[in-house]
Amino acid sequence: MSSVPLSLLHERVNQWFAEEGRKHLPWRAPDCSPWGVFLSEVMSQQTPLARVEPIWREWMARWPAPADLAAAAPGEAVRAWGRLGYPRRALRLHEAATAMVERHGGEVPDTPEALLALPGVGAYTAAAVSCFAFGIPEVVVDTNVRRVLARTVEGKAFPNLTLNRAEARLAAESMPTDRDRANTWNVAVMELGALVCVARGPRCSECPVADLCAWNLAGRPAYDGPPRRGQSWHGTDRQVRGELLRRLREAHAAVPLAVLEDATDDRPQVMRCLDSLVADGLVEPLPGSRFRLPA
């Protein structure tokens, strides 16, 4: 741990969030249900919140409780997912809602252990829902949190490419000991990383802890770790899978292979991607070379 005074770091970041945090986000409203928080956490992984909010509102209007989603066909969840990306999350949400109905009386479970036992729920989601829905101060660590701590505490431009034990320990040791301050810190430090301490072009002049930040005080030394390559999109299997799902969503019925096979000029790639969607449970094959979203 560096010499950064953690109590002052907590005070500054939490106060900044009270003044500058995005209070308009509906899942941050005091009356938002645990189910609404759960949806937001799954939807917002690797997805900008501006894209999440309209889809979240549509889901909450259509499926305001786990039982409502569980009663729908899995394919309807995939259809309603739209173009949020990583559509397997829609299926995992449907599976989690079904498990909530079967195991928890249709409610979102209120312990980290029970949340972690739900289909598709990992350590981050279990911790975030525990904290933001139930006020349990679990250690919530996402990319934004890791970046803020790497800079302010460790003096590095970026964290490691993937979360390791040292970073997890740093996040735990950096938490306030007071329950309420810890819960605020979890969302505040995440927000600071999303809005100010961003990956490219950090706005240090707007940062409430710029004078405490080890990286800033060291002259913001350049990153010297492994290459951090951005994800490509055009021409990839991800793009083709997305186009296939778009056509199936808009069809609202089973479609023949002919409707799908020109998703790109590379027909073998189309077939490979279609096979992978079937294997993932996102597409259901029917007799006569027809396909649909899962019923």
Instruction: Count Cβ atoms within 10 A of the Cβ of residue 240 and give its class: 0-12 exposed, 13-18 middle, 19 or more buried.
Output: buried
- Can 95 be counted among the known catalytic residues? no
The DSSP string of the chain is --S--HHHHHHHHHHHHHHHS-TT-GGGSTT--HHHHHHHHHHTTTS-HHHHHHHHHHHHHH--SHHHHHTS-HHHHHHHHTTSS-THHHHHHHHHHHHHHHHHTTS---SHHHHHTSTT--HHHHHHHHHHHH--------HHHHHHHHHHTT--SS--SS--HHHHHHHHHTS-SSHHHHHHHHHHHHHHHHHTS-SSS--GGG-TTTTT-HHHHTT-PPP-SS--PPPP-TTSHHHHHHHHHHHHHHH-S-EEGGGTTTSSS-HHHHHHHHHHHHHTTSSEEETTTEEES--
11, 41, 95, 191: the catalytic one is 41
Interatomic CA distance for residues 116 and 97, integer angstroms: 13
Catalytic residues: 41
